[in-house]
Amino acid sequence: MAHVNVFDTTLRDGEQSAGVNLNRLEKVEIAKQLERLGVDIMEAGFPASSQADFDAVKEIADTVRGCSVTGLARANKRDIDIAWEALKGGAEPRLHVFLATSPIHMTHKLKKTPDEVVETAVNMVRYAREKFPYVQFSAEDALRSDRDFLVHIIEQVIDAGASVINLPDTVGFTTPDEIGSLFRYVREKVPNIDQAVLSTHNHDDLGMAVSNSLAAVENGAGQIEGTINGIGERAGNAALEEIAVALQIRQDRYDFHTGLVLKEIKRTSDLVSRLTGMQVPGNKAVVGRNAFAHESGIHQDGVLKEATTYEIITPAMVGIDSNRMVLGKHSGRHAFKQKAEELGFELNESKLKEAFESFKNLTGKKKEVTDDDLFAILTDTQTEHEDQPKYELKAFQVQYGSINRPTATVLLTKPDGEEAEKANTGEGSVEAIYNTLDDLIDADVHLQDYQLSSIGRGRDALAEVHVQLTVDGVKASGRGSAQDVLEASAHAFLNAVNRTLYQHKRHEGYQKVQV
C-alpha cells in the first residue's frame, strides 16, 4: 500500500475559524499532541502575520522533532525571511509559499497578469529554496484556474526548486469527479511532475472536502491537507480523522494508508475542541459522542449479538474508552502523575502540584472523577502562563429569585495584588456576574459570545463555558470549568481578560521581527 503524507494545518488554517484565538502555550500543547498522532507535516502558523504567531511557530519548530514543521508565507521576500527565522531550528524546516492562479484572483486581488504571476512564483520559490530544504508551492484557487496555465506554472516552480505542489480547492467549489480529473490532467501534462509530490487541500463549503480529498489521492495526490475535527475558515477543511479512518476501514477500496496513530484520534479531537472552544457535534463522524451510540432497538439487538452488524468502526480503534472512575480522593500524587502521562501531558513540578490540588478539590465535590474531568484539569493547568499578573476570582455571591432581580457580589484580586469588591445586577445570574466583573476590571470589556456545555454526563458533571470578548477593542476568547455553572462563567470571563493582559505585557516594546 502506498503511503500518503498527512499535512495538518489545524494550527494555521484551523485557527482562522471565526472566534478561535489560541495562545502560545495552547498551540504548543496541540503541536505535541499532533506529533503523538503521527502527522508527517505540521503547519504551525503564519510567522509574518504577527509577533505572537512568530513566537508560537518558532517554539513549535524548536520543540517538535518527530515531524516536519512548516509555516505559511506569501510570495515575497519579507514573509520568506521571517518564516526562516522562525523555522530554522526545526528538525526538517519547510516553507509553504502560496500565490493565486485563478483569473478572478489574479485580476481582482493580485492585479497581475498571468506572466507576472509566473515570474513572481518562480523567483520566490527559487529564493526560498536557498534557505529551506523543502519548499511547497500552493496555487491558490487552483480548482478555478485555467488548466493549461496551471500546467505551465507548476512546471516552472518545480524547476525553481519546489518539491511539493498543492492544488487547493480554496472556496470549496469542486466535486470528486472534477478534482480527480484535474489531478490526472496535471500528472499527464506536467513533464517534470515526477520531481514533486502533489498535494490536495479542500474546504467543506459544499460538504465534499473529505470525498474530494480521497478522490485526489485516487488520482495521484501523495499528500492530504486538513485539520482535526475539520475546523477552519467558513465551513472548515477536510477532517483528517475521517480520511484516516476511511482509508483504514475501506482497504478493499483504497490502496493507500497514512502513518497516523488512530488510537490518538479521540484525544487529539478533544484537545483541539477544548482549546479552540469549537464543540464537536454529537453526530460528527468518527469522534462525535453519538458516533457509537445505538438508540434503535433493532440496532441495539444486532450490536449485542455481533458488533459488526451496525458498527464498522470499533471505539477502541480511535481511542474511545468508557468513562470509568480511574482516580479518587485517596489517590496519591504518583498515581495522578502516571495518569497525566497516560493522557498525554508532561507537566513540570509546579504545574503538577497545581493540577493535583485541583484534582483533590474536585474529589471532595464529585463522587466519580472521570478521564474527561482529569483531561479538563490538566489542559487548563498546562496552558496557563505561570507567574502572570492577572485578575483572580476570590469569592462571589449571587442572590436570585423568580420575582427578584439577580444581584452578584464579586471579590477578586487585581494584577497589582490589590483586592476589590463590588456588586451589580442583571437580567439573569450570569449577566449580573459579568456586569460586576466589568465594573471591577480596568478595561472596556464587551461580551460577544457565550457557550455552555458539560464535561461528561450526569448531575454532577463539570460545566464548561467558552466566551468571546473584546477588551479595549481587542478580541479575546476564554474558557472556564467548574461544577457550578456560575463559577465556570466567571472563570471564563476572567480567563479571556487575562489572556489580553499577557499578550500586551509580552509584546510591550517589541520591535517588528528583524531578519
Q: Is the dihedral of CA 280, 276, 42, 206 positive or negative?
A: positive
Dihedral of CA atoms 7, 10, 16, 21 in degrees, nearest 10, equals -150
Give the pLDDT of residue 505.
Answer: 52
Q: Max CA-CA distance within the chain?
A: 78
C-alpha 247/C-alpha 393 separation (Å) is 48
Q: pLDDT per residue over 351-408, tens digit each?
A: 999 999 999 888 888 777 888 888 889 998 888 877 678 999 999 999 998 888 999 9
Q: Cell numbers 505561570 label which residue? A: 386
Strands 392-401 and 197-202: what pairing?
A: unpaired
Give the pLDDT of residue 27.
Answer: 96
C-alpha cell at 189: 501534462
What lies within 8 Å, CB to CB, of 68 at 6+ separation is 40, 41, 42, 90, 91, 92, 93, 94, 134
Give the pLDDT of residue 385.
Answer: 76
Give the pLDDT of residue 293.
Answer: 67
C-alpha cell at 16: 482562522
Other Cβ atoms within 10 Å of 514 Cβ, number: 7
Q: Does the annotation place 13 within a ligand binding site?
A: yes
H/E segment holding residue 280: none
Q: Quick one: which of 362, 309, 334 has its CA closest to 488?
A: 362
Give the pLDDT of residue 511.
Answer: 36
Q: Point out which residues pair with 504 in neighbouring strands.
A: none
Backbone angles phi, psi at 301, to 5 degrees: -65, -40
* b/e 252-275 (16+ beta carbons within 10 angstroms → b): eebebebebebebbbbbbbbbbbb
C-alpha 225/C-alpha 219 separation (Å) is 15
Give the pLDDT of residue 302.
Answer: 53
Give the pLDDT of residue 471.
Answer: 93
User: What amino acid is encoded at 362 in this protein?
Assistant: L
C-alpha 281/C-alpha 92 separation (Å) is 36
Strands 462-471 and 445-455: what pairing?
A: antiparallel
Q: Does the annotation place 96 within a ligand binding site?
A: no
C-alpha 123/C-alpha 121 separation (Å) is 6
Q: Does the annotation place 201 within a ligand binding site?
A: yes
Q: Which residues of the chain are under the pLDDT cut of 50?
A: 294-296, 298-300, 303, 323, 325, 507-515
Give the pLDDT of residue 310.
Answer: 56
Distances from the Cα of 502 to the Cα of 90, 193, 270, 318, 498, angstroms: 26, 47, 25, 36, 6
The beta strand positions in 344-482, using DSSP E, are 392-401, 404-413, 419-425, 445-455, 462-471, 474-482
Q: Does the annotation place 334 within a ligand binding site?
A: no
Q: Cell numbers 508551492 label which residue? A: 137
C-alpha 148/C-alpha 155 separation (Å) is 11
C-alpha 423/C-alpha 410 separation (Å) is 6
H/E segment holding residue 66: none
User: What amino acid is encoded at 124 in this protein?
Assistant: M
C-alpha 94/C-alpha 83 separation (Å) is 9
Q: Quick one: which of 49, 29, 26, 45 has its CA closest to 37?
A: 29
Residues 479/465, Cβ–Cβ less than 8 Å: yes
Give the pLDDT of residue 320.
Answer: 84
C-alpha 416/C-alpha 133 separation (Å) is 48
- Rounded to 5, what percent of the chain is helix, strand, coil? 45, 20, 35
CA 242 and chain centroid, separation = 16
Give the pLDDT of residue 296.
Answer: 45
What's the distance, Cα to Cα, between the start and end of the chain in Å? 43
Give the pLDDT of residue 303.
Answer: 46
> Which domains does the chain carry?
2-276 (3.20.20.70), 333-383 (no CATH), 392-512 (3.30.160.270)
CA 360 and chain centroid, separation = 30
Backbone angles phi, psi at 443, to 5 degrees: -165, 165
C-alpha 422/C-alpha 446 separation (Å) is 18
User: What amino acid is encoded at 226 in this protein?
Assistant: G
Give the pLDDT of residue 73.
Answer: 98
Other Cβ atoms within 10 Å of 291 Cβ, number: 18
Give the pLDDT of residue 324.
Answer: 53
Q: pLDDT per residue over 245-267, tens digit each?
A: 999 999 999 999 999 999 999 99
Strands 419-425 and 445-455: what pairing?
A: unpaired
Other Cβ atoms within 10 Å of 157 Cβ, number: 25
C-alpha 333/C-alpha 181 separation (Å) is 58
C-alpha cell at 22: 489560541
